[in-house]
Amino acid sequence: MVWATTFRWVLILAAVVGLIYTWMALASPLNPLVLFTVQSNLMLAGYYSWRVVSRRRPSAEVKGAVTLYIVITGLVWHFVRMGGANPFEHLSLSGLGFGNFLLHYVTPIMAVIDWLVFDRTALRPKWAAALVWLAYPMAYLVFALTRGALLPQDAWKRYPYPFLDVERFGYGAVSLMAVALAVCFVLLGFGLIALHRVVNRASRTAVASVLPPPAEPADP
């Protein structure tokens, strides 16, 4: 489908440009890899690059996982890091401003559009997938806390996100935050699956309504 391929090339471009801005702003080539934002956008760019050059049938589980992780990136950034502030207030073409806008707003929104508009008939996500998708965020949590415990206090982004700062909040509070986020992520996964099914059902109903009814069999 030409529209899907074009849309996905734009999505890939947005992710790549955002990642380039982030790498340039953070100077050290390894620093950005610590961030969930960068990891999820790398997954997104890699997945959709594979999609536009491959003719294989898409996997609902893989596409759903990529979509969920990039949506998590956008929602956590907007509501937890930015407190729901207007994203255009911090938009600039220098430093991290433009990169943050692309990686936290443009790519998540485009990924959700792709999830709901394209591959509708090819994908049949199962409800249990929402629980499986939680594996990567939980693995990232273990990575972030282990890395923070091993690094010196003055290390860059010792804890990649403020709500994971064990030195400030303690393991108890961070654990409660992790449980709360895990519940939200599972519910978000269920929400993505539900939206996909609703849109798919509505699309089938709309198509059926415009097709002519099957012809009645002729009398013998």
pLDDT in tens, 183-197: 999 999 999 999 999
Looking at residue 48, its pLDDT comes to: 96
Nearest to 69 by CA among 25, 6, 157, 132: 132
Per-chain mean pLDDT for the chain? 89
Q: How far is CA 214 from the centre of its chain?
A: 42
Where is pLDDT greater, at 29 or 101? 101
Q: How far apart are CA 199 and CA 113, in angstroms?
A: 11
26, amino acid identity: L
Domain residue extents for the chain: 2-209
Nearest to 122 by CA among 209, 183, 61: 61
Say if residue 212's pLDDT is above 70.
no
- Taking residues 23-29, report their average pLDDT: 81
Q: How far apart are CA 158 and CA 109, in angstroms?
A: 29
Q: How far is CA 195 from the centre of its chain?
A: 15
Looking at residue 205, its pLDDT comes to: 67
Nearest to 145 by CA among 175, 182, 106, 102: 175
